[in-house]
Amino acid sequence: MTAKSDRHIRTLAFAKFALQQIERLGLPADPTSFELWYTYATGNNQELNTAVDATLTRSGGMTDAELERLCELHISSTRSANRLKAIATDLSGEIAQVVGIIDVATSASESYDQHLGRGLQSIERTQSHQALKPVVEVLVIATREMESKTRALELKLEESRVKTIDLQKDLELLRLENLTDPLTLIGNRQYFDESLAKMTAVANERGLPLSLLFADIDHFKKFNDSFGHQVGDQVLRLVASTIKEALRDGDVAARYGGEEFAVLLPNAQLDVGKLVAQRICLAIMRRDIKLRSSQQSLGRITISIGVAQFRQAEAAVEFVGRADTCLYAAKRWGRNRVVSEHDPEFLTNGDTGPLISTALAAVR
């Protein structure tokens, strides 16, 4: 009872600390925030504690985006690593089981061969049919025993085969989870980075075009502060689903971080990428945000998108940098617009511009 009581007191203190930090920093009181601060309080993840301390020292607080990034880097990865370790242990156990089955089968086969060898020798020495009977009986018994052991081994092998298939499925699910943003259910930053590496390699090898879209929700922090984090999460999911609906099979959509999204369009020239971006902009602008509970309209949201096309043999970081620069040009020229690397907005440093670019207005 005393040990249980001590554990109760200790874990309750961790929980209180977590809630205090959430309230002090104005963070969403959701399971993600609680897990981060509870883990921080335990001191069991030193890398997390170091990263959190550095964030607080640098800015004196923590934004939702920083919270999410810290969780993804230091908690989700740890959780996944533990699951991977458990699956690996189970797989090792199944491999050992199969090796054991093979050893038993080998021993049984050797024993049966010995029975057959002795039986054949006895038959060669036997002069009468009557004397053959006990020899044949021994061989029949040995054969039946061998058949029984073989059936048992086959059943064990089948059980191991089924379990191994299940473990392989678990590994695939874990891989997909590690590449999926849990909030928006599209790819995460890791998925984007891996896809970018593969697609730029293909584009270089085959000389095919590849376009990249960088999108950012306009004034998202203001919207989040006005209506709360739950509504903000709803907006992120809406934007992600709208982007996904606009894409072809083989295109890649990912949440790059915070309210920023990235889209890879293989075999698409810059003008095609810009057209897709314009469609996404318009589709999102036409969506009316409503509270799920009361269906109260909260108005509309807009996004800005930058578009770049991959250049042969360039580094991926340069490709991403140009798309990002296009995005900031779209922001600088008034938001709610698409800017490609061939547009005047990208080539000049203006501070003002119409709300919607001429190209976007033409599509309307």
d(CA 173, CA 180): 10
The catalytically annotated residue of 66, 68, 72, 259 is 259
Asked if residues 284 and 277 have their Cβ atoms less than 8 Å apart, the reply is no
3 pLDDT higher than 70: no
Per-residue model confidence (pLDDT) at position 358 = 39
Tens of pLDDT, residues 296-347: 777 789 999 999 999 999 999 999 999 999 999 999 998 999 999 998 877 7
Please give the residue that has the higher pLDDT: either 230 or 285: 285
Nearest Cα to Cα of residue 217 among 331, 99, 121, 356: 331
Tell me the domains of the chain and their CATH numbers: 2-62 (no CATH), 80-178 (1.10.287), 189-363 (3.30.70.270)
Tokens at residue 315, please?
Answer: 């580094």
Tokens at residue 36, please?
Answer: 């981060």
Tokens at residue 278, please?
Answer: 């314009």
Residue 259 annotated in active site:
yes
Per-residue model confidence (pLDDT) at position 87 = 57
Per-residue model confidence (pLDDT) at position 322 = 93
> What proportion of the chain, given as a percentage, has pLDDT over 70?
68
d(CA 57, CA 318): 31
Residue 348 CA to its chain's centroid (Å): 38
Tens of pLDDT, residues 277-300: 999 999 999 887 777 667 777 778
Among 27-41, 129-143, 320-334, top mean pLDDT goes to 320-334
Tokens at residue 245, please?
Answer: 């609906």
Per-residue model confidence (pLDDT) at position 325 = 93
261 pLDDT higher than 80: yes
Mean pLDDT of the chain: 79
d(CA 122, CA 144): 19
CA distances from 350 to 88, 168, 208, 221, 346 (A): 56, 54, 33, 24, 9
The C-alpha R_g of the chain, in whole angstroms, comes to 32
Tokens at residue 90, please?
Answer: 């189970």
Q: Is 256 helix (H, G, I), strand (E, B) or coil?
A: strand
Please give the residue that has the higher pLDDT: either 84 or 203: 203
Mean pLDDT of the 183-202 span? 92
d(CA 80, CA 348): 46
Res. 362 pLDDT band, cuts 50 70 90: very low
Please give the residue that has the higher pLDDT: either 111 or 297: 297
Mean pLDDT of the 247-259 span? 92
Tens of pLDDT, residues 166-178: 666 666 666 666 7
Asked if residues 224 and 280 have their Cβ atoms less than 8 Å apart, the reply is no
Please report the DSSP string for 305-340 in residue order.
Answer: EEEEE--TT--HHHHHHHHHHHHHHHHHTTSSSEEE
Per-residue buried b or exposed e for 230-242, using 16+ beta carbons within 10 Å of the residue's own CB? ebbbbbbebbbeb
Residues 6+ apart with CB under 8 A from 149: 104, 105, 108
Mean pLDDT of the 130-152 span? 66
2 pLDDT higher than 60: no
Per-residue model confidence (pLDDT) at position 161 = 72
Per-residue model confidence (pLDDT) at position 351 = 41
